[in-house]
Structure 1
Amino acid sequence: MGIINATPDSFSGDGVGFDLARAVAQAEKFIADGADMLDIGGESTRPGSDPVAADEEMRRVVPVIEALAGLGVPLSIDTWKPEVMRAALAAGATLVNDINGLRAPGAIEAVAATDAGVCIMHMQGTPQTMQIEPRYADVCAEVTDFLLQQARLAEDAGIARERIMLDPGFGFGKTSDHNLTLLKGLKVLADYGYPLLVGLSRKSVLGRLTGRPATDRVAASVAAALASIARGAHMVRVHDVAATRDAIAVWQVAGIFERTDT
């Protein structure tokens, strides 16, 4: 999944801002590099980011989705707001990537009224508060319990199980230790049978491990993607599509593209 940030304040340094031509060019490059899906977002969710009004978010993402709808790959809308979900799906998106885990009033209904897929993510707090001393008694158990609960609610509302993905939400209300514990224990969540989406690309935990800024974390991001796949991830959300696809290709040829228990 290639990331298209239609925002002026992306933490990763590669946002396209409000430049539609730039968004299309980035999307075409990602597709050429091997992206299977594009994820379009109009609101930065980095720690401490300011919220964006729904009208402004729609102004940012709908033209991008409309412009990319004919490029031949599925499109995802990265939003937690039901009104943005509806507008994006009407414009051509086929997956809702919800960092808020379908908790906003009307979010489940917005997805259930369509045949779109949904990715349910775990986040402790909000983007404004999530990194202020996040705490867990057992991070793997608590994240898993939340995701399974929200998946059950979605299914009860008429969203078929095969339309649901889960995302443990690396970096969203987690310390570096929490993130690493989740990564090591990812197979536990994978064993429940829902496809998993993992987003570790350029995250701060990789910066703490390597000492490198966000724009210089390609190698660490690729390693994190492979570690995620080895533990059950079905899709990885990345800024560096070509490097990630190349690494996966080598794994496949080498015959080590299998999940592990360690």
Structure 2
Amino acid sequence: MLELLAYLLIGAASGMLAGLFGVGGGVIVVPALILLFGQIGMVEDWIPHLAVGTSLAAIVGTGAASTYAHYGRGAVRWDLVARLAPGIVLGAWLGAALAGIIPELWLTRLFAVFLTYVGIRMLAPRKIHHERTLPGSGGMWAAGGGIGMLSALVGIGGGTLTVPFLSNRGIDMRKAVGTSAACGLPIAIAGAIGFMVVGWGREGLPGASTGFVYWPAVGAILLASMPTAPLGASLAHRLPVALLKRLFGVFLLLIALRLVY
């Protein structure tokens, strides 16, 4: 029961913060699961792999809900999704394959580096350069591949990477966010399948898992995160989000230090 409660709290926190700050739930889910799995006695060699694979599987549900909500507001550029998706899927599979051969310590440290990047972005947002334009087909495939690979490696839906890429190239911010949510769906699906495949048959994995996806955590996180994301979005219009973002940035940097040491 305590383990189930922990998953529900992780899901509620990830949904709330995703809605409040516009960050993917994986930024919260992955480090929380790494710490929790260590406490409940899972085999250390696979803890970060299970955390990332489980996060990606959970993002399939939350990403679908988020995409539907943005689509209802006309904020999804499906033409851009179609141009990015092939590279995203290939990149996500490559990221999952790389994760299967990266030792657990270095996968944890890779996520700590990513958290540091997100934390610094929260503390000092980058200036947007609207004068840039979208690249051609090859450039979009390459961008999608890079976004998909890194997102799968660290267990996120890619919004932290996709939104700046699109907004820096003249795409309206609302449509950049909506399109990013839609792009997160193929990242999560391809990445989760990849983590199931590369984790298949590994010794020491928990019984209720398929490869590196642990289903009890996926179900509980989805149950709690989907209703709290709209609540976080609502609070974003009433709370001092600029101050909260800075506090959240400091929090992420502290988590990164904890994971490294």
Structure 1 and Structure 2 fold alike (TM over 0.5): no
TM category (shorter chain) comes to under 0.3
TM (norm. structure 2) is 0.28
Higher relative contact order (CA 8 A, sep 6+): 2
TM (norm. structure 1) is 0.28
Higher normalized helix content (fraction of residues): 2
